[in-house]
Amino acid sequence: MTTPKPDTSTDRELVLTRVLDAPRDKLFRAWTEPELIRQWFAPKPWTIASAETDVRPGGASRIVMRSPEGEDFPSRGVYLEVVENTKLVFTDAYSEAWTPSEKPFFTAIVTFEDAGDGKTKYTARARHWTVADREAHEKMGFHEGWGQCADQLEEVARNLGD
């Protein structure tokens, strides 16, 4: 019996990588503290109406994006892996605890690597359940939206005190 090889294709993955002018610890805080998430997590003119986080493996998050027209888009998920100042992995496959969501869309892997001089190599990966989901996310403006959010994240992190 042969062991199947893991799927290493990227046909279901979208990736954004940037070097941000902010240290890893401040970027991590901005990703995990609700009051900071509200300042950057949606591409303007969208806003974050509310954010709740329980940042630990198995902990839930609930973030509500609000469109410029005032319509709310809640997003629930669960953290799968948390390595302080280094890595966050979360998914919408679960809505809370280990309760499956109605329609999982993706798992995010966000990493923060020291790039020297107080800068951070920031990588955000969105791994989708299907190629169609990846294509839909790309058409929704993944690179533009997540890129704008990375700029907003950098600004929030740079303005954090020690």
Q: Flag whether 33 is in a domain.
A: yes
pLDDT score, position 4: 44
Maximum CA extent, the chain: 58
What's the number of domains the chain is made of? 1
C-alpha span between 34 and 8 (Å, rounded): 34
CB atoms within 10 A of CB 7: 8
Q: Flag whether 146 is in a domain.
A: yes
Q: Flag whether 40 is in a domain.
A: yes
pLDDT score, position 6: 41
Closest CA to 124 of 101, 140, 100, 148: 148
pLDDT score, position 95: 86
Q: What's the Cα-to-Cα distance from 81 to each of 60, 136, 148, rounded to whole Å?
A: 12, 26, 25
CATH of residue 80:
3.30.530.20
- Is the entire prediction scored with pTM above 0.75? yes
CB atoms within 10 A of CB 49: 15
pLDDT score, position 96: 81
Phi/psi of residue 7, nearest 5 degrees: -75, 115
Q: Flag whether 4 is in a domain.
A: no
Q: Flag whether 6 is in a domain.
A: no
Cβ–Cβ < 8 Å for 60, 78: yes
Q: Flag whether 90 is in a domain.
A: yes
Burial 75-112 (b: 16+ CB within 10 A, else e): ebbbbbebeeeeebbbbbbbbeeeeeeeebbbbbbbbb
Cβ–Cβ < 8 Å for 137, 144: no
Written as tens digits, the pLDDT of the chain (162 aa) is: 444 444 444 799 999 999 999 999 999 999 999 999 999 999 999 999 999 999 999 999 999 999 999 999 999 999 999 999 999 999 999 988 888 998 899 999 999 999 999 999 999 999 999 999 999 999 999 999 999 999 999 999 999 876
Q: Which domain holds residue 140?
A: 14-158
Q: Flag whether 76 is in a domain.
A: yes
DSSP letter (8 states) at residue 19: E
Cβ–Cβ < 8 Å for 53, 72: no
Q: Flag whether 5 is in a domain.
A: no
